[in-house]
Amino acid sequence: MNESNLSKRLSLVAQQIPHGSRLADIGSDHAYLPCYALKTGLITSGIAGEVNDGPFQSAVEQVKKLGFEQQISVRKGNGLEVISKGEVDVITIAGMGGPLIASILEAGKEKLDHVKRLVLQPNVAANQIRVWLEANGWFLINEVILEEDGIIYEILIAEKIGENPYSEEDYQLEIILGPFLMQQRSEIFNKKWMNELAEWRKIVSQFEKAKNTEEVNKKKQELLERIKRVEEVIQ
């Protein structure tokens, strides 16, 4: 992978960046995404943010190698510390856990006033990002699911202006599965949740072997209900 040939995952993240954007890529690693976005005309300027020294140095070298120092600023810092208010209009955060992405957004939410779009690619627990987005006035406008090298990823695209994609009846299920992904019900979506169902059934069997307490029974019944509802979606 390089600035001209992104992974499938990052290519799909890049496709969600509107043309002419000012981008901040948080956790940018080698800065491949902002360099690709600049090279292909998606962005007019970019910030590559990294908290760890090794990836930060790699990003600095990558930007320098391409002669993009005037357009892409590589900055070392934690999360949204690397940007100022009004400096960017699109933020991408890819390749982290959902709880970490949500915590980055929460810690830096005062920086989001002028941001028009968030493109978020969690490796796990996308539901925690959905909860944060809704609680903070961000509307999901689309979701993408993909498989690469045997791993299934979700990409969440959110904007400040939109319509609530959640239904009152299925809200909790849509938070877990994704409202747009539920509608699309792709083959990859079904594969992901078939795998999850198998893991949940293992947990149920463990509950059945555990000491019979009120708390265990409650958790078991909640999980059985979740299994039933997810099964209804993917069948």
Cα angle: 98, vertex 49, 177; to 5 degrees:
20
E strand map for 13-99: 21-26, 43-50, 72-76, 90-96
Give the separation between CA 75 and CA 190, rounded to whole angstroms. 39
What does the pLDDT read at residue 2? 61
CA 168 to chain CA mean position, Å: 24
| pTM for the structure as a whole | 0.94
DSSP β-bridge partners for residue 56 = none
Q: Flag residues of the chain having pLDDT under 50.
A: none
Give the separation between CA 137 and CA 130, rounded to whole angstroms. 11
Q: Give φ, ψ of 175 to 5 degrees.
A: -60, -40
CA dihedral of 102, 104, 108, 114, whole degrees rounded to 10: -70
E strand map for 57-216: 72-76, 90-96, 117-122, 139-148, 151-159
Give the separation between CA 65 and CA 51, rounded to whole angstroms. 21
Give the separation between CA 154 and CA 146, rounded to whole angstroms. 7
Give the separation between CA 33 and CA 13, rounded to whole angstroms. 9
Measured CA to CA in angstroms, residue 56 lies from 13, 64, 100, 133, 157 at distances of: 21, 12, 19, 28, 26
pLDDT tens digits, one per residue of 156-168: 999 999 899 999 9
Q: Give φ, ψ of 149 to 5 degrees.
A: 55, 40
* Three-state secondary structure call for residue 43: strand
What does the pLDDT read at residue 4? 66
What does the pLDDT read at residue 53? 94
CB 197 within 8 A of CB 227: yes
What does the pLDDT read at residue 141? 98
pLDDT tens digits, one per residue of 9-48: 999 999 999 999 999 999 998 999 999 999 999 999 999 9
Give the separation between CA 51 and CA 82, rounded to whole angstroms. 9
Measured CA to CA in angstroms, residue 231 lies from 54, 105, 130, 198 at distances of: 44, 32, 21, 11
What does the pLDDT read at residue 210? 79
- The residue to which tokens 């809704």 are assigned: 134
